[in-house]
Amino acid sequence: MKILVTGVNGQLGFDVVEEAEKRGIEAVGVDIQNLDITNEEQVNDVILNGDYDAVVHCAAWTAVDKAEEPELFETVRKVNATGTKYIVEACRKKDIPLMYFSTDYVFDGQGEDPWMEDAPRNPLNVYGITKAEGEEYVESYPKHFIIRISWVFGRNGNNFIKTMLRLGKEHDQLTVVSDQVGSPTYTYDLARLVVDMILTDEYGTYHATNQGECSWYDFAKEIFKQANMDVKVLPVSSDQYPAKAKRPSNSRMNQTNLDDHGFDRLPTWQDALSRYLEQLNKQN
């Protein structure tokens, strides 16, 4: 099997390529340097002439607050929606499966119940709007997987854990938002599910995060606890910590589609955090 992985320089794309290669699958990773997904001619050239059996589409604009700058709206849309449309159409011509990664941000974050996979989309910010548009393009093609993830962390790139560890070395007290609840997602664990899934024809929409839920405040406290760092964490509300992009307060996501299609759920987020910190220590 041979798969094309977009966004290989990101946290998820990097781990997907590594996991695929571990299993003897040929994985070709591309990023903006060798595939501009907003260029339809390039997308067609790479996918139609590449002898691929599937495309795992990890590339996206993920700078959530920067996306709110009015002059960048069309750029963000070109990456997250139009670029995805080009990939969908190339996969359709080639008749090969496409896996697309989306986000809890396609929901409005109201209430406390976990979001079902078929819940109505109602995004609050530009990132969520453009990722939802990408989902709609992907849904038009029968051979698709949509995997919604949240609060992502991995070895390759920046994330909340790395930020907390850096700030914890600089300050003995930090304030962290406590009224947004969701589930962290470790790209190493997710990549294993991705490769399991792309080998099947169990198409559809899935939610896949590490098990358990927490607020960003809870997450920060657990990071410092497991890292043995003496940092006091104080809870604040979202309105005390203004950001350009409005975030959903409820990012809990129901994962029954994984169960129904025979896929294993990811380990708990606390377990994932422990293994991730161990990995960071080895790297350092």
198-220: pLDDT as tens digits: 999 999 999 999 999 999 999 99
Residue 89 lies in a domain: yes
Indicate left, alpha or beta for 4 from its phi (over 0: left) and psi (-120 to 50: alpha).
Answer: beta
Q: What is the maximum span of the chain, computed from C-alpha positions, in angstroms?
A: 56
> Looking at the annotation, which residues are catalytic?
127
Residue 137 lies in a domain: yes
Residue 119 lies in a domain: yes
Residue 205 lies in a domain: yes
Residue with tokens 């927490």: 214
Domain holding 44: CATH number? 3.40.50.720
* DSSP classification of residue 50: T
In angstroms, the CA 213 to CA 231 distance is: 22
- The token pair at 123 is 């995004």
- Split at pLDDT 50, 70, 90, the class of 245 is confident
Mean pLDDT, residues 38-61: 96
- The tens digit of pLDDT for each residue in 165-203 reads 999 999 999 999 999 999 999 999 999 999 999 999 999
Residue 41 lies in a domain: yes
| pLDDT-wise least confident of 79-83, 218-222, 278-282 | 278-282
Shortest CA distance to 175 belongs to which of 215, 226, 225, 212? Answer: 215
Residue 278 lies in a domain: no
Mean pLDDT, residues 83-110: 97
- Split at pLDDT 50, 70, 90, the class of 283 is confident
Mean pLDDT, residues 240-266: 93
Residue 172 lies in a domain: no
In angstroms, the CA 30 to CA 188 distance is: 19
- The tens digit of pLDDT for each residue in 142-167 reads 999 999 999 999 998 889 999 999 99
Residue 277 lies in a domain: no
Pick 41 or 239 by higher pLDDT.
Answer: 41
Residue-range definition of the domain harbouring residue 121: 2-159+184-210+252-266
What does the mean pLDDT of the chain come to?
Answer: 96
In angstroms, the CA 10 to CA 15 distance is: 9
Report how many domains make up the chain: 1
pLDDT at residue 230 is higher than 90: yes
Check residue 284 and give its pLDDT.
Answer: 75
Contact 80, 128 (CB under 8 A): no
Shortest CA distance to 257 belongs to which of 150, 142, 148? Answer: 148
